C-alpha cells in the first residue's frame, strides 16, 4: 500500500464500528487518515489510539456543507485525497406499513444523501488528479430482503447501490484511473444494531425461519476493505456465500422468499 508518499484516506462514520476498525488497520500500514463523525469524544479517542498522521473532523454528513468542509480539511492537511470511504449509516426497526415520513426521510438522508454529498465533494478532485478511489459501504440487505424489519434502511442501501453503479459507469471511459467500489457487509457486531431507530429485534433473519447468518466482527469487514483499497474491484461482499445468495434470489425471487417464509 505504501508508495513514494503514504496514501491519504478519508473515512466517514469513523468513531466506532467498521469505520474505526478500518482506520486502525490503515494506520498500522502507514496511511494518513482523516476521520469524520458526529461524536467528537469518540472520534478523538480513535485518533488518539491509532496515533500517526490522523486528523479528525467533527461532521454531520447529512449536511452537504459539513461534507464539503471535511473535504477541504483533508486537502488542507495533506494536499490530496487518494481514497474516500462513505461509511456513515444508521438502521431502523419498522416494517414498510409502519414507516413514518420522518423515519423514511432520515434513512435516506443518513444512508444515501450523505454518500451522494461525499461523491459530489471528492470526485471532482479525483478528476483533477486523474485517479482516486471512492468506496461506498452498503449492505447485503440492499440486494436481498432477508431482514424486513430494516425496511427503509434496505431501500436506502438499494438506492445507494444504484447511485454507485451509475457513477462508476459515468467515469469508466473518460477516467479509468478513478475506481468506484461498493462494499456489502452482512450482519456485523457493532453499535449499529443498538443505535438503530426502534432498536433491533431478537430475530435477525426474515420471519419464518431459515438458517441464521454468521455475524462478522468489524475488523473482519475492515480486512476485506483494506484488501479492496490495495486491489480495487467494483463490488465486494464481505462474507462467503452472499453473492451466491443474490444469484439464487434473482433467479427465482418467489422460490427464494418462500424458502424463508416470506
CA pair distance 140, 246, nearest whole angstrom = 9
Using CA atoms, how far residue 100 sits from 92, 150, 165, in Å, is 11, 13, 29
Residue showing cell 435516506: 108
Q: Three-state DSSP class for 176?
A: coil
153 in active site? yes
Cβ atoms of residues 59 and 47 within 8 Å = no
Which contacts of 21-25 are long-range, i.e. CB under 8 A and separated by 24 or more positions? 21/217, 21/218, 21/219, 21/221, 21/222, 22/85, 22/87, 22/222, 22/225, 22/226, 23/50, 23/54, 24/49, 24/50, 24/219, 24/222, 25/219, 25/222, 25/223, 25/226
Residue 10, CB-side half-sphere exposure with 13 Å CA sphere: 35
- The single residue of 117, 153, 237, 249 carrying the catalytic annotation is 153
User: Within 132-183, where are the H helices?
Assistant: 151-172
Which residues, including other chains, have CB under 8 Å from residue 259's CB and lie 6 or more apart? 210
Q: CB neighbours (10 Å) of residue 258?
A: 11
Residue 233, burial from CB neighbour count under 10 angstroms (0-12, 13-18, 19+) = exposed
- Which residues form the catalytic set? 153
Amino acid at each position: 500500500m505504501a508508495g513514494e508518499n503514504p496514501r491519504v484516506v478519508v473515512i466517514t462514520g469513523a468513531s466506532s464500528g467498521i469505520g474505526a476498525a478500518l482506520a486502525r488497520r490503515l494506520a498500522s500500514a502507514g496511511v494518513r487518515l482523516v476521520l469524520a463523525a458526529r461524536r467528537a469524544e469518540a472520534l478523538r479517542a480513535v485518533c488518539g489510539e491509532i496515533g500517526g498522521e490522523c486528523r479528525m473532523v467533527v461532521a454531520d454528513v447529512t449536511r452537504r456543507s459539513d461534507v464539503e468542509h471535511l473535504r477541504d480539511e483533508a486537502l488542507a492537511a495533506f494536499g490530496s485525497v487518494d481514497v474516500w470511504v462513505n461509511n456513515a449509516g444508521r438502521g431502523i426497526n419498522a416494517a414498510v406499513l409502519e414507516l413514518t415520513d420522518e423515519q423514511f426521510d432520515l434513512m435516506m438522508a443518513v444512508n444515501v444523501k450523505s454518500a451522494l454529498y461525499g461523491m459530489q465533494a471528492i470526485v471532482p478532485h479525483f478528476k483533477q488528479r486523474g485517479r482516486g478511489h471512492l468506496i461506498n459501504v452498503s449492505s447485503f440487505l440492499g440486494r436481498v430482503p432477508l431482514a424486513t424489519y430494516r425496511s427503509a434502511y434496505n431501500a436506502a442501501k438499494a438506492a445507494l447501490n444504484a447511485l454507485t453503479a451509475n457513477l462508476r459507469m459515468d467515469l469508466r471511459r473518460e477516467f479509468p484511473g478513478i475506481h468506484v467500489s461498493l462494499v456489502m457487509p452482512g450482519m456485523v457486531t457493532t453499535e449499529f444494531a443498538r443505535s438503530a431507530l426502534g432498536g433491533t429485534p431478537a430475530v435477525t433473519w426474515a420471519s419464518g425461519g431459515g438458517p441464521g447468518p454468521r455475524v462478522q466482527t468489524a475488523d473482519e469487514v475492515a480486512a476485506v476493505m483494506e484488501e479492496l483499497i490495495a486491489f480495487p474491484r467494483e463490488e465486494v461482499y464481505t462474507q462467503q456465500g452472499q453473492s451466491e445468495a443474490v444469484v439464487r434470489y434473482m433467479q427465482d425471487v418467489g422460490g427464494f422468499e418462500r424458502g424463508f417464509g416470506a
